[in-house]
Amino acid sequence: MIRQTFRSLAVRNYRLYFTGQVVSQAGTWMQTVAQDWLVLSLTGRALPVGITTALQFLPVLLFGLWSGALADRWDKRRILMLTQSTMAALALVLGGLAAAGAVRLWMVYLLALLLGCATALDNPARQSFMSELVGPGDLPNAVALNSASFNLARIIGPSLAGIVIAAWGIAPAFLLNAASFGAVLAALAALDRDAIVRQRPRPGARGGVVEGLRYAWSTEELRAPLLLMAAVATLGINFRVVLPVLARFAFGGGPRDYGFLASLFAAGSLLGALATASRAEPSYRLMIGAAAAFGALALAAAAAPTLVWEGAALVPLGAASITFLSTSNALLQTRCAPEMRGRIMSLYAVLFLGSTPFGGGLVGWLSEVWGPRAGLYLAAASGLGGAALASWHRLPRKAARPAPAGEGPADHLP
């Protein structure tokens, strides 16, 4: 069982990449907590937190599809070296401003927007790079372990952020994040390039955004997960806004309480990712079931009367959310043609991250109008409603091999 769960780590390149990601993502989560708390400290309101989050992911919405086309044609390792270096520089700037006491809300907005530009280019390349590290056989496992590394970092990062902010202030959290990018850059530099199986563009392929959209829409086994992702990710998965608002306005807490809630949500997500990694193959039934469980557990979290009960509800809620996301990710990567993987994963990023400008802003506004638990009620509606609609749509239990782009029904669309 353990060997099955961690089998992708036997591949040296993936093991290096995985280790670097854990360190770097822990730093990223430190910055996430620090940035949200900085905005709350500057304004004392929930809406600016939502605006900051929206600005950070707006470029993914606007440019994510083009980034996927670039990821299908460019060297993904070089793209990642560029984007990770840029993110480190932005964290260093924000840390310097905070340390000097010169930071203003508009500066946080601007740096969040620039970080979003780097994320828009980074995400499709990073998601699709895993197939080049481990090959198709271990890809579902690598996707799940990548989710596990993300959530392990989400346990470590917020906990450290709460301690660092309480003891030394906000600036060190940003500076530590800048330093943490050194781990992933070192891992990328140490990869065995001869062992990377790069997917070459199909001869004669246009490699454009429109081709990717047509392919995704005409392939039922891609369209169904993407539509369910659109509902749940846009309206339900907005915990960047929900958790700090809950900590401060529902329970009257501080940065430690926010870190406590974020870490428990991440702990549940880690358990969900490891459980998903132990499965041999993703399934549509699991994806729909995880969406329904996410909705039901969001209702339970919305009803939690104390901080401790809220934390207890967030553990299974985190497990359900990451099971849904990991399964959707693996289904998309294994059901699409390899030469289209960057563009399909850019669609995933647009729905998961790019929808945040709308979802994050909506949750921030609802929290001010209807109270800090409004975001959880919206999450419940998205999970339960999306699962109910998806369950009416019949899909084969086991999908056929993905048709290469240019040989499937996409070519027959007007």
Contact 219/408 with Cβ under 8 angstroms? yes
What is the structure's pLDDT at 40? 85
Architecture per CATH, domain 2-190+207-412, reads as: Up-down Bundle (1.20)
Q: How much of the chain exceeds pLDDT 70, in percent?
A: 90
Spatial CB neighbours of 104, under 8 Å, sequence gap ≥ 6: 42
Which pLDDT does position 298 carry in this prediction?
95
Question: For residues 27-66, b (16+ Cβ closer than 10 Å) or e, as one string?
Answer: bbbbbbbbbbbbbbeeeebbbbbbbbbbbbbbbbbebbbb
Give the pLDDT confidence of 120-139 residue by residue, as tens digits.
899 888 888 888 888 777 77
Residue 340's pLDDT is 82
Residues of the chain with pLDDT under 50: 203-205, 396-401, 403-414
CA dist 64 and 58 (Å) reads: 9
pLDDT for res 190? 94
The answer for residues whose C-beta is within 8 angstroms of residue 329's C-beta and 6 or more apart is 127, 143, 147, 345, 348
Chain segment 265-280, per-residue pLDDT in tens: 888 988 888 888 777 6
